[in-house]
Amino acid sequence: MNYWEPLTRLHRAFSRSPHCEYAVCFDIDPPTGEFTYLLGVGVDNSEDLAKIEPDMYMMEMPGGLYAKFTTPLAESSKYARSIRETWKMIFDRWVPASAYEFDEGRYDFEYYDERDHNKNGMQQMDICVPIQKR
């Protein structure tokens, strides 16, 4: 099985418009830097919930206030660096200077839509960070 087969299977089972994926990091262990990275698709109705198979993992994302950051449009070869730099900017500059703090009771997530699909060699995505007033 190749890396993308499970994601392709999810898109077949849960086709949505617009096409998108979500990525969530959780179970983060700061001393080792290890974490679980879940890549999936949105499921938002009871018909979709009935399609979830035993080998699939479902994660419910709580609502609330999120700050959304869009990565700069980047060439494919520089895309991963653009994502890393955006994450760094969020926690090194934006959070300390804002009236908000990271809400540790909820998950941050990455949102990949059609902008991520390498059209003309350029890619872009959104990072959504749960926040609350300080």
What pLDDT, in 10s, does the model give residues 44-80? 777 777 788 888 888 888 899 999 999 999 999 999 9
* pLDDT for residue 60: 85
Cβ atoms within 10 Å, residue 117: 9
Say what percent of the chain tops pLDDT 70. 96
pLDDT score of 16 more than 80? no
**In degrees to the nearest 10, what's the CA dihedral of 6, 7, 9, 15?**
160
CA 44 to chain centre: 16
The b-or-e profile of 63-83 (16+ CB within 10 A means b, else e) is eeebbeeebeebeeeebeebb
pTM of the full predicted structure? 0.86
Helix (H) or strand (E) holding 26: strand 21-29
